Amino acid sequence: MPTITTNDWKNYQGGSFAAYAADRGASIRRYGNAGTDGFLVYQIKDLAGEWYNQKGDPVSVDLARAAGFDVDAQLRERDRKERLAKATASVNAEFATAVRTEIASKGGYTLSDVGMGRAELTDSDGVVLNPRPMSIQEGQRLLDLMSGDAQ
C-alpha cells in the first residue's frame, strides 16, 4: 500500500509530482529508453521500499528493480522501520498504562513505583520532583532526605 496519495502532492507547486519528490528528497532512475517508451521511477528517501512513476502512481517491485534500484536493501530497510515502529508503539503503550503505586509517604512527600523498578517522588501538590525516574532505592533515600529522616 503506497504511503503517498494524490492528495499529498496534487496542489503542491502546480501539481507536479517531480517537484514534490525533489523537495522530499528522492532518487530517480529511468526505465526504458530516453525516448517515448521510457519513463522515470522515483524513490522518496524516507519511504524505503516504495517506488512511484512521474505521475505519482506506485510502481511494482519488479519495475523498480528493472529501473536499477537496490530493491532488496530497500525492502529490508522498510521491514526494519516497520518492526521498530511496532516495538516503539508496544513500549510506549506499556509506559502509558503504567499504574503508579504508592511505596511510601513521609513529611508530605510520596514515593511511587512507576514500573520496571523505577520510582518518582512527588510533593503534596502532586508535582514530580525528580527530572527522570530513579531506582526505588534511590527514591527511598531521597524520600528520607526530603522528609528529614536521613541518618
> What residue ranges do the domains of the chain occupy?
6-94, 101-147
Closest CA to 17 of 29, 30, 4: 4
13 Rama sector, left if φ>0, alpha if ψ -120 to 50, beta otherwise:
left
Measured CA distances, 140 to 34, 48, 84, 127 (Å): 72, 48, 35, 17
Q: Which residues contact 75 (CB under 8 A, 6 or more apart)?
A: 48, 49, 61
CA dihedral 64, 67, 72, 77 (to 10 degrees): -70
Question: Hey, is 97 helix, strand or coil?
Answer: coil
pLDDT in tens, the chain (151 residues): 567 666 666 666 666 777 778 888 888 888 887 777 788 899 988 888 899 888 888 899 999 999 999 999 999 999 999 999 999 998 888 777 657 789 999 989 999 998 888 999 999 998 988 888 899 999 999 999 988 876 6
CB 110 within 8 A of CB 122: yes
Indicate the pTM of the whole model.
0.56
